[in-house]
Every structure is written in C-alpha cells, then in structure tokens.
Structure 1
C-alpha cells in the first residue's frame, strides 16, 4: 500500500468540498454555529469535526477509510494490528492491561511506569509485583529494568501472566529489550510496553535507539502526539503478533474505554502523522542525526549544570531529547523562567533537571539561535542553592505490595504526618507531575526514603497531580491491622 496515501484525511476533505448541510451532530454544524470571537481560530478545524456519517466509517467497527488508515499504520510498523486511540496512551494502557489480565493474575510491573499503568492494573484486579528500575548515579535519572532483575522475578513468580515495561524513559533512554522479551516468552508470559515517547523510533540508523516493537514486545502503546506531528490525545496501540494476544477481547475493551463519538480531527491527524513518519523513514537521516548530535555536544557542562550524556551504560538516548542536570534544586526553575522570558517553553522541569524535546524534521532548524537562547538561560547560576535529593536505591529489586489497591479500598484509613508514615501501608497514591510516575502507591509499605523524597519535593515547588492534601492532613495510611485480621 502507498504510505503517502492518507485515506481518512482525504475523505474528510472530499466531504468538506461538497459544502454539505449538516442535519447531524456535532452542534456547531460544520463551524457555522460557533462563538464569533473564536471562529477565526476554530473555523477550519471545525469543518473536519464530523461524525459517523456515510463515507466516514466508524472507529469501533472500521470497514472503510479508518480500516484502511489503520492497515497502513500496521504495515509501517510491521505488526499484525494497529488501533487508533483518541484518549492518549492512557486509553491504550488501560485497554491492553484489562483485556489481557484478569482478577488475581500476577503481573511483573516496572516500578517507574506511568500512573495510567497502575490504574490499569488496579481496574483489572491483577496482583502487581514491582521491579525496581536502574538509577544512574551521576545524573539521578531513573532508567529501565536490568535483565538480571527480570530473570530473578520470572524465576520467583513463574505464575505471572505478563511483564509490563516502559521504554523510552521520559528523558529518552532506551536499552535493547531482546533478552528481556525472550526470557518472558520462554516463561509463557506476554510482554506489554508503554512506548509513549517512542512512536518515531522506526529508524534502523546509527544513533537511534531500538524500539520495543523491534525487540519483540507483544503489545505496544505509543503516544503519537508526543514525538510525531499529531494532535494531543492521539496514540497508537500495536499488536505485534496475535498468537499470544486475545485481539477480540482487546477490541472489546477499546470500545468500552474510548468514546463512541471519537474526534475525526484527532483520528485524521494520526493518519497524517503515519504518512509523515513513513516519509521520514525513507529519507536520508544522516544529516539530521549529525546535526542533532552536534547540537547536543555544544552543551557539555557549565556553571551549575551538565548535559545528560548520549549514552548511559547500555542505554542510548533518543537524539530528539536534550536534558540538563542541575547542581542544586533551585536551578531548573530559574532556567525555565529565563527561557519563558524569551518565549521558549521546556517539556519538563523538576528540582533536578530540565528537559527539552526537539522536532523530527529534515527542514533547516535554527540550531544557532536555539544554542544562544539555551546557553543564556543556563548562565549565571552562582550563589546558594538547595541540596539535591540523593536518589535512593531500594533494598529489594523485586517487591510485592502489602495489598492490591482494590483490597485497600475495603480497609479503614487514617492520616499521619509524612515523617511518621514510614513502615505504614499507603492508603493513597501520590504522583508528582510531570512525568506522572507515582512516588507512593496505595497498598505498598512506605519507606523512609519515600518519606524523605516526598518532603523534599514538597519543599521544592513540585506539582502533584494527585493533589496536596497530604501536606496539610498527612499521608493517608491503612489502619494498622495484622495480615490475619485483614484476611491476607
């Protein structure tokens, strides 16, 4: 099939050119009924905002242009099935987990997964076993799962039905997963991967990491909107091979968890992003790769900062990610403020680092201008600052929670000050955002290190997507009862 073809987008344009009269939803009637002050901004996109009328197919029973667009995507990624998602990778993580795991099933779960993965496991009723990721001592960055950790977990929990991994990391670090996936398959387990930041990793080119799909993962979710030119909330879900996967059950959960009125502008942007990526795949990437590497190497280290390396052990960084590591916890926020004064906005700011994402394009990019802007933002960092948190290494690479989140729902809770909470069982999940990786998960035993980091993040102006009630009321914990009293 012709990868330049965009069947869904083309059909929408054909429909618009007919100058149709809308006697159907949505209520803006092709943009003719809309607040005047916003019309100039929304007018063209509203023409694309259609519904399941003749010729435009149905996401949940695709037989026409959506089916064709999905098949083009599957062909590009060399997989059996590709599904369009309009609820982001969150919808995909929920659907693939809930469709492949049932109540009581054991899943080996990377501890620094996105919160949507933990929500998916909670809704499925599966029992998670947490695998502690590697941490780079020099940068403090959390990485992936060491294959020896996974080997031990598979041996200890042979009954596990699945392994759930995250790759790349938010900062773009990827390790080859061939051995991880081979071990899981030999043990009869499926491998699911949250590859939210890796939809573009199709390039068999030196300097670009290997994708989870290329390594052999069975189910992979990718946020198209993160690194491809697609609209926010769009994502792909790929089934590499349906010999291990119940695809009908997956379709059922996708229908259950996604809107029955999916956005056509979002779906069409997935069609376009796929065609764009296919064109990039066929292009000569030598020049782009060389420019990106050279641009990164302009930043080695300076007053109070260093650049995260292109490689950390066996982890290769995505050329489109650029991270700066701070010497003290006050600096990243200063860098953000200086960038924003000059009209530039970073992807992520934490007390420890600042992250930029670069565009995937063969067009000329203003690298010299960007270099001046970034260097200006990083300069002048003298003076006192707040000491960085010494990232801890959990005592155990493999751990089980005291109870699952579902079981925690049935237990009474109380509040204790953060400093007094160590040793108790968490009655709530607390998630710094971004990147949305829970620091504390409901049902797990709270460690001293988690308490210290939580206090440190709170003092350093971290935003928590799960709210900040813990600051005023204390952490919610399960009331102390013995395992026998709880029936566990």
Structure 2
C-alpha cells in the first residue's frame, strides 16, 4: 500500500476548501463561537475540529477515508486489521479484553498490568489468573513473565480463554512473547498484548519483536507515546484469527460516537511518518538513549540499566529506547528525583517510583535535551546525596487475591481508615500514577506490607489515585468480610 498517503488529512484539507456553513456540532462553529479558545489553540486547529459527515466518514462504521486509514495502519503494523482509537490505550485495552472474555471466563496475565486491564475485568466479570512476576531486587522492579510460569498457569487453568502479555513493561522489560504465543495457541487460547510502550517495535531496527510479528491475536498500541500522535490516540491491532467486525462492535460499546478528527488525523499522519521514516527516527532515539545511559552511569551512584539485564527468560529482551535510571544509591527515591528535576531544573520526566526514574525519549527529543538532563542529575547528586539506609526498594508487592475484581468492586462496601483495614478485602484501586499499576485492586487482601508501601509512597509525595478518598486516608473495603493474614 502507498504509505505516503494520509486519507483523513486529505479529506480534511478538501473539507476546508468546501466553505461549508456549519449547522451541526461542535457548537463553537469552526472557532467563531469561542474566540479565546481559538486564540489559544489556533484557527487551523479549530477549523478541523469537526463532526462526522459523509465526506469525512464515521469512526463507528467507516466506509471511506477512515476505512482507508485503518487499512494503511494495518499494513504498516503488519496486522490483519487496525482500529483508530480515540479513548487512549485504556479504551483499546478494554476493547481487546472484552472481545475475548465474558463473565466467569479466566484470563492469564501478569499482576503488574496497567489499571485499564483490571478495569476491563471489572466490566466483564472475567476472573484473573495472575502470574506473579519475578523481581530484580537491586532495582526494585518487576520483570517479565517466566515461560515456565505461563506454562504452569495454562496447564492448571486449561479452560482459560486468553493470555495477556506486557510488551514491554514501563521499564523496557520484554517477556518471551513468541514462546508464550506458541504455548497459548497450542492450548486454544488467544494472546493479547499491551503494547502501550512498544509502538517503535514495529518500525525501528534491532528492536524486540512486536506482538503482531510474534503471532499475537490482539495488541493495543499507544501511538501517542513513542509514535508522535496526539495524547489519547492509539491503535488496536488484530491478527488474522480475529473477527474484525465483531471487535468493532465491542469497541462501539464504549468508545465515543463523536470521534475527534484532531486525534484521528494525528494517528493518520504519525503512521505515515513512521512508515516512511521510522527506521531513521528510532535509530536516532536509540543513539540518544545510549549516549545518555553511558553519561549517567559515568556520574556514579545512578544506574541507567539496559540490555545487560537480559537473562533469556524473565528479561527475554530489553527495549533500549527506555531511559530508566535507578536512584537508590544516591539516597533518593525515584519520585524525589522526579520532583527535584521538575521543581528546580524545569525538566519533566515521565515518572518516578520508589527507586527509579523514567525519562521517555522519542521522536521529538534532541541531544541538547539529554545533555541538560545529565547535567541536572549530576548536580542533584552533588547537592542532595544522602544515606540510602531508610529507602524502600520494591515497586511491586505480590497480591493475595480473595475475590474477583467485579464481585469486589460492586460488593456492599464501607470506608475504613488505613490503619484499621489490615485483613480486609479491598473494594477499590490504589495506585501510583504514572505508571498506573495497582498496588491494590478490588478483591485483594489488605496486608501490613501493602499499608507500609502506601504510607511510604505518601511520604515520598507519589501521586496516589484510584480511591474514593482523595487523601488516601481511608480505603473502601467489602463490608463484614475479614480475611486474616
């Protein structure tokens, strides 16, 4: 296919020339009704913030330009079909899961998944079979799924409908997705991949294998992360085993009927850019992260880790575009370095957890930006270094699952102070965001270790989300249920 085309952009360009008088939504009428917003975003943006109409197709049932954009995306990603998603990768992940499981079905997955995965289990009533990831104790991060652990889960739960894989994790860790696909398919199970952080796997050179190339059935790809499209725009990719029109029906259960053409055209243009120039773009990204990793490691105390972590199993491969830095030997939690960089150096990184910092390097970064980050980290080490003895390491605590997420979320529940909740069954989420991996999810036992983690995260000023109580002083628990440790 002609990857130099961008059908949605072309349709919008033609639409601007038509001089249509708008008696439809949106009500700002090409910006005239909201001059302050138009001044802030620009006339060009407001002119193409339009609604579905015949010349522009309809996201819910595309037959022309959006359908062409989907076909080009599928071709570029090596998929049988691709869907433009305007609800972020959260909606893509949820549609992916809703397409293969229903109430009571089992799905095998790592516990260090994004909240959107467990949200989908709340919606469907499916039952998670968790494969607890192993840990790298030095870094305090969870790794990929061991093939042996996945094999054991498949053998123990032969009626499970699917296996979900992170490809990669937020930290760049990749499981052996090819072998997991082989095992799952041999057992009659689908394979779903959360590739929120793996867009570049499809376009770069010498990258870890992409989900579609590995034979996965569905993959959710955050084009807005490493692909350059607008925030909240993503793709849902289908392999040849999936009924694409059934998947579209599932998407239409939850995705808006008023798809943003700003988001859709950004997907169209970004796909074109990566299809034509992806190798060159991601070669540059790898060069930048390699340079930064070497410079940061030369500073002392920081550890910017990379492909040396590969062990052939739980770290089957490593995404070298990820600039993840362990900060513990500086005596600072990752979230503390994150805050210092933003507040005193005007540098915004992707996230900091209890032991690590992630600087997201992608299509728009420059060498001088990396130099500024390295210099700031050197200055932070000089100014703020302290004893690390009191620092907590782990970003993940293995859960004790007592009830299914849907059952717990909709159970009769009550608020209970943190210090009184040990042994209770949680009925809501608790997570640090980013990355959005739950510390607690509905249906899991509240333990002292988890409460210590939550208190420590609050002390370190992590952004805790998911609870009804905005201060996270109370947790929603299932009323009347106590489960001793």
Asked if these proteins are the same fold (TM beyond 0.5), I'd say: yes
How many Å separate the matches in 2 of 1:303 and 1:381? 14
Q: Do 1:173 and 1:318's aligned partners in 2 also have CA atoms closer than 8 Å?
A: yes
Per the alignment, residue 36 of structure 2 pairs with 36
Q: 1:365 to 1:320 in 2, by over 3 A?
A: farther
Q: Which moved more, 1:465-474 or 1:196-205?
A: 465-474
How many Å separate the matches in 2 of 1:409 and 1:141? 27
How many Å separate the matches in 1 of 2:38 and 2:354? 37
Q: Deviations over 1:395-450 (max 9, x none)?
A: 7xxx8832223322564434554345343322322122111111111112233432
Q: Which moved more, 1:414-423 or 1:270-279?
A: 414-423
Q: Do 2:425 and 2:482's aligned partners in 1 also have CA atoms closer than 8 Å?
A: no
Q: Deviations over 1:85-139 (max 9, x none)?
A: 0000111111121121111111112101111110101111111111111221111
- In the alignment, does 2:227 pair up with 1:228? yes
Q: Which moved more, 1:74-83 or 1:310-319?
A: 310-319
Per the alignment, residue 336 of structure 1 pairs with 339
TM-fit CA distance, 1:191 = 0.8
TM-score with structure 2 setting the length: 0.90
Per the alignment, residue 181 of structure 1 pairs with 181
Q: Do 1:326 and 1:332's aligned partners in 2 also have CA atoms closer than 8 Å?
A: no
Q: Do 2:204 and 2:279's aligned partners in 1 also have CA atoms closer than 8 Å?
A: no
How many Å separate the matches in 1 of 2:70 and 2:467? 38
How many Å separate the matches in 2 of 1:246 and 1:335? 44
TM-fit CA distance, 1:291 = 4.4
Q: Which moved more, 1:461-470 or 1:208-217?
A: 461-470
How many Å separate the matches in 1 of 2:410 and 2:69? 45
Per the alignment, residue 320 of structure 1 pairs with 321
Per the alignment, residue 47 of structure 2 pairs with 47
TM-fit CA distance, 1:281 = 3.4
Q: Which moved more, 1:264-273 or 1:166-175?
A: 166-175
TM-score with structure 1 setting the length: 0.89
Q: Do 2:89 and 2:220's aligned partners in 1 also have CA atoms closer than 8 Å?
A: yes
Q: Do 1:198 and 1:222's aligned partners in 2 also have CA atoms closer than 8 Å?
A: yes
- In the alignment, does 2:250 pair up with 1:253? yes
Q: Do 2:353 and 2:395's aligned partners in 1 also have CA atoms closer than 8 Å?
A: no
SS state at 1:461 partner: coil
Q: How does 1:5-404 map to 2 (within 5 A)?
A: 5-36=5-36, 38-203=38-203, 205-206=205-206, 208-241=207-240, 243=241, 245-281=242-278, 283=280, 289-300=286-297, 302=299, 304-314=301-311, 315=315, 316-327=317-328, 328-330=331-333, 332-360=335-363, 367-384=370-387, 387-391=390-394, 401-404=401-404
TM-fit CA distance, 1:473 = 5.2
Q: 1:482 to 1:27 in 2, by over 3 A?
A: closer
**Aligned Cα root-mean-square deviation (Å):** 2.7
SS state at 1:107 partner: strand
SS state at 1:268 partner: helix
Question: Which segments of 5 or more consecutive residues in structure 1 lack a partner in the other structure?
Answer: 484-488
How many Å separate the matches in 1 of 2:420 and 2:325? 34
